[in-house]
Amino acid sequence: MAALHALANPARFLKIAQPLTPLLFWAGVALALFGAWAGLTQTPADYLQKESVRILYIHVPAAWLGMGGWSGVAAASLGFLIWRHPLASIAARAIAPAGAVFAAICLISGSIWGRPTWGTWWEWDGRLTSMLLLFFIYIAYIALARADAERGGDGRLPALFGVAGSVLLPIIRYSVVWWNTLHQGQSIGLTSSSIDRTMLWPLFFTLGGFTLLFAGVVLMRMRAAIATQKLEARMRRMAST
């Protein structure tokens, strides 16, 4: 806990984040590109889904980060509500746009995948509908956080929304278990997978790559937000003299 409080110091955070940002970003780009290349050219087509199965190398990481992004928003929001540290609020606001982008990629890639597999671009089943709701919640949070900042709010309202929105995550996770749905069940577990190994291995590269890329973008946005706050504070001091 003491280590987390030490990291919450903006100066210490920037000292770590500055060299880490490009490292995470470019490592993520390299891994994601390699995984995408391997998935497109080095794996066999599925015997049922044919070539369309290759969308999984983008769709699965996007779904993971769409949900993981909101977990980050909720955790940072909870940290802000408990400790009132502004860096936690900055983290939540930095995570939300990146999470929204990956949620959108998940929905788009899933729609493209569903057309040849299910015969339709969209189906109002539990998994797709709950993921669409998560995307709308991202948009609502971004708008609420921006409005709160413009009116000079203390950040509590977006933080409460960030925590409350996490109730959707278990619904997305278990929707394929709770309801009869077109969407396939869980294919990858902690100890086993229903995907053949010859097709599975590139997925670990895209999962790792997009996760590192996500982290790099979030750090980049946090550094930009801190720099903007410092500039605004300096301008206010100059205006008051």
Over residues 40-49, mean pLDDT: 82
What is the gyration radius of the CA atoms in the chain, in angstroms? 20
Return the axis-axis angle of helices 156-164 and 126-150, rounded to nearest 10°: 170
Output the pTM of the full model.
0.88
Exposed/middle/buried for 49, CB within 10 Å: 0-12, 13-18, 19+?
middle
Reported as a single tens digit per residue, the pLDDT across 68-83 is 999 999 999 999 999 8
What was the pLDDT predicted at 36?
A: 95
Give me the torsion for CA of 34, 37, 173, 187, rounded to 10°: -110
> What is the dihedral sign for C-alpha 74, 75, 81, 86?
negative
Confidence of residue 142 (pLDDT cuts 50, 70, 90): very high
- Cα 34 from Cα 193, distance rounded (Å): 22
What was the pLDDT predicted at 124?
A: 80
Over residues 226-233, mean pLDDT: 79
Over residues 14-26, mean pLDDT: 94
Closest CA to 86 of 178, 3, 13: 13
Look up residue 34 and give its amino acid.
Answer: F
More confident residue, 29 or 52: 29
What was the pLDDT predicted at 24?
A: 97
Rounded to a whole number, what is the distance in angstroms from the first to the last CA of the chain?
40
What was the pLDDT predicted at 2?
A: 47
The label of the residue with tokens 């493209």 reads 112
- pLDDT at residue 5 tops 60: no
Which ranges constitute the DSSP H helices of the chain? Answer: 2-7, 10-41, 56-83, 86-118, 126-150, 156-164, 168-178, 197-240
Name beta bridge partners: 57: none
Over residues 97-101, mean pLDDT: 97
- Cα 133 from Cα 147, distance rounded (Å): 21
Q: Which of 19-23, 193-197, 237-241 has the lowest mean pLDDT?
A: 193-197
The residues spanned by each domain of the chain are: 23-40+52-180+202-227
Return the axis-axis angle of helices 197-240 and 10-41, rounded to nearest 10°: 150
- pLDDT at residue 216 tops 60: yes
- Cα 54 from Cα 43, distance rounded (Å): 9
- pLDDT at residue 105 tops 80: yes
Which are the contacts of 6, defined by CB distance < 8 A and separation ≥ 6?
12
Average pLDDT, the chain: 86
- pLDDT at residue 107 tops 80: yes
Reported as a single tens digit per residue, the pLDDT across 148-198 is 998 988 889 999 999 999 999 988 877 666 556 655 656 565 455 656 687
Q: Which of 144-148, 175-179, 202-206 has the lowest mean pLDDT?
A: 175-179
Confidence of residue 115 (pLDDT cuts 50, 70, 90): confident
**Residue 69: half-sphere exposure toward Cβ, Cα within 13 Å:** 36
